Every structure is written in structure tokens, then in C-alpha cells.
Structure 1
């Protein structure tokens, strides 16, 4: 007769094999499973590249994107001279999800209708591989993006009135002359800005200008200038933050607000207003002359009677 305690101990002992030999380990981990073989690196590399590409697209779509500066309009803040390696800048796409652009911000934006109606759209490559390389290159700033984008500095925002210039040749916003240390003069011996009439920026729009003030077609000339030259806030892609290429120009992008140090300026009245006193004087001269003659004649008659 078998002792129940001894029997139970024997059946529950993991070290004792059962009758079928199942107690022997069929794998190195002692749980009956074979260890998984590790893939060779050359098989994992395509997967890593796909993951990296997907993450890059998501980051550039929603967080930050690299843009290439294609023109000289923002010299010398951003380098884009003809025949040279233009700056590649990282554009912050999150900031303006929480607030609107402010004066002094350097922004990248999609060209509004009045800015692009006469522009020639970028030519699409016909070759599939060329198109793919262009798409990938645009993600990291080595090729221009398909959309027609611009980079300028915000000078005035919705509700403000901007014009040029005061006697010292400075841009005026809401009656205050701006101190703009970032301006680049193509001809330092002739630092004169082109004048333009007062423009009240519509709410939800921006007045933008290039730092290379005399070599930039911006709100002053796009769409014929004036209100059509303003940029809707909805067209803003993001704020330029850092220069990442070339290495010699690594650094942040200045967002100096010239309105903080602006000084009040006395503006001359428009020509038609300056002519009001002369018109009034001319209109009153006739009755004044007539009354003067009548008064003199009356006085002469009075003296003759005496």
C-alpha cells in the first residue's frame, strides 16, 4: 500500500520525470520553448529605415520642419544669396497653435492668392525616382518644397496702421517710428527705403517685410501692395527658430521686436488736408473783400454828411 503523502510528493516533484519522459527540458529555458533566432542586421535595416522615415514625416508635419532659404530677401539674418549654399532653417510648427505671430517674428508661410497668382508653379519631375528623391530632399531641406512658401519678418499685425517713412526714413507703425537693427542695405551708402501710403492691416492678417529692405518683394508690392499684400495668419506655417546648415552659420534666428523701442513721430498731414486752410482762406476772401468795400463806402458817405 502506497503512502498518499509519499505518492503526492512524487507526482508533484518537478525534478522527477513522468512516464513519458515529459519532465526532460526540451529547450534551454526549461519551459519547453526554443529560443527565438535573432534576425541578421541586413534584414532589420529596411525596417529601421521605414520607421525613421515615418517618424521624420510625422515630426515635420506636426512639430518642426527644415526649410531651404531660396532668395536674398532676408539677408543677412538668413543667407540665401544666388550661387551659394543657402541656409537651412528649422521651423517651429507648434508655437502658433497656441498664439498668433507677433511683431519681429521671422515666419514661413504659404503664399496667399495675391502673392502667387503670377508665380510659376514648381515643375513636377516626370521620373518616379526623381520625384521620390525630391520629396525626401524637401523633408530635410535639401530640395525646395512643392508648395510656394515664403519667409519674411512680421512688422505689423491686425488692427495696426503701417506706413513709410518718417523724416529719418524709418517705417512707422501706429504713429511710432521703428528701430530696426536687422535691416540690411544692399547699398550701405544709400540707406533709403521706398515710401508707401498708410495701410491698416485687417484683423487676422500680418504686414510682412524682408530684412534686405530694398531687395524684397513683400507686403509693399505683392498683390499690388496695400491690403492685398497682407498675409492671413491661417497661411502661416511656423516660426523660424534655428539655422542648421551650413555649419558655419549655426545659431538661432533673431525675433527682435522693433515696436518695443519705437519712438513717437509727428507726421505731416496729407496734401489734401494741408490745402484746407488755403481753400477756406480763398473762399472767405471774396465776401471779406466785398464787405470791406461796402464798409468803406458807408464811412465815406457818413463823413461827407458832416
Structure 2
């Protein structure tokens, strides 16, 4: 075999000068860098959109939702509720102060549990001291009734929730200024549904809506 019998390369465009990279390699490298930049920018954009329009983090400043939520817990809120995904009884929701709930504290957001949807008849209390929705007494495992708050935990009310509004209550029934004090909350003021406790790590858990509690409640 002669010294010129070297295998050829398909599409050979001639030998590159000694010590220089092939032109095709340069193009591939530039395309790779371009793709990396596009992926990084797309990821940053998606992250920004998710944080801005889909989920947000809130911390809990008070004990009105104990023992479900503790002071200084952090929760992630799904902002697709209720604009895209509908509300359900039992949802824990963050909402903007409709006016007068927080006074002059400088804060603007509250967190409570949805007990009544538009059209629901919500009342307290049944003969055994339970909240009723559309005539059904609720077994509420999330609700906390502390003896030191006495009758405040089961203050009487009897309300039909107006259209476009919801009835909300804190899980700490004796220590929550909620719809029993301030009335219903416009759905338009709801920021979203709290779905998970993210901090502290020892309290990481999903926030359920307790569907069994409301399973027997008929439509209004």
C-alpha cells in the first residue's frame, strides 16, 4: 500500500492549516453556545412568569389558623385559584383585605379557610355546637376550639353567602376575626389557594381541603 492510500472523508473541503480548528467545529461550537444561552434565558423567563403569575410565597404572622398553620410558617400559594381553577369548600386561601379587616397594621393579606361558597346557607350552631352548611353539620378535624376563648369559639351566625362572595373562617375558632366579624369576602380579592407549608422544613406538608368534611353538603 502506497503512502497516499489514506481514507477520504465525505464532503472533504480540504485540509485545515496546521494548528487551527476545523471550520465546521467552530460553527458547531457557536451553535452549542447559542442553544445554551437560549435555554438559560427561557428558564429564567419561565421562572419569572411562574413566580409572578402562578405561585407566590407568604409567611404566617398570626395564630388565627392554628394549629393548621403556626406563626412564621411559610406557605406556597397557587395563584391560578380562583381565576383559572375554581374554589372548593375547605380551601385555605390568601386574600387581600376587603376593607377594615386589618385596621392600621400596614399589612394587606389574610389567610383563612373557605367554609361557604356563593349561595350557601352557613350557620352556627347545631344542637351539638357544629357549624352547618346547607343544613349539614360539619365534622371539622382542622378546627381548634380552645376553652380559654369560651363562647367566642361558637358565636351564633346565620348567613346566606351572596353571589361572588365566600364565607371564610380561621381554624383557631376562638382567636380569629373572620367572616363572623367582618362578613363575606369577594372572590375578586382572593390571591390564591395555599397548597403547601415550605418552612420550617420540619413542618413541610400539603394543605388539604378535607373533602370528607363537605362531602354530604348539598348544592344551595
TM-score by length of 2: 0.76
Aligned residue in 2 for 1:39:
none
Q: Please list, as runs of the form range in 1=range in 2, the aligned pairs for 1:81-100 lying within 5 A after superposition.
A: 86-100=72-86
Whether 1:213 and 2:173 are equivalent positions in the alignment is yes
Aligned residue in 2 for 1:121:
106
Aligned residue in 1 for 2:22:
29
Aligned residue in 2 for 1:279:
none
Deviations 1:168-195 (A, max 9, x none): 1111222221111111123389687332
Higher strand share: 2
Of 205, 209, 220, the match for 1:255:
209
1:165–1:193 Cα contact (<8 Å) kept? no
**Count of aligned residue pairs for this structure pair:** 198
Consecutive unaligned residues in structure 1, runs of 5 or more: 1-12, 17-22, 37-43, 81-85, 123-147, 223-228, 264-306
216 and 53 in structure 1: CA distance in 2 versus 1, 3 angstrom threshold: farther
Give the structure, 1 or 2, with the largest relative contact order (CA under 8 Å, sep 6 or more). 2
176 and 192 in structure 1: CA distance in 2 versus 1, 3 angstrom threshold: farther
Aligned residue in 1 for 2:60:
69
Deviations 1:23-71 (A, max 9, x none): 84784124696987xxxxxxx9xxx8x9987654422221211111111
1:206–1:232 Cα contact (<8 Å) kept? yes
Aligned residue in 2 for 1:203:
163
Aligned residue in 1 for 2:4:
none
245 and 113 in structure 1: CA distance in 2 versus 1, 3 angstrom threshold: same
Consecutive unaligned residues in structure 2, runs of 5 or more: 1-11, 31-36
Task: Quote the RMSD (CA, aligned, Å).
Answer: 3.3
Aligned residue in 2 for 1:109:
95
Aligned residue in 2 for 1:79:
70
**SS of equivalent residue, structure 1 residue 70:** coil
Judge which range, 229-238 or 170-179, deviates more: 170-179
Aligned residue in 1 for 2:110:
150
TM-score by length of 1: 0.56
Of 226, 232, 238, the match for 2:186:
232
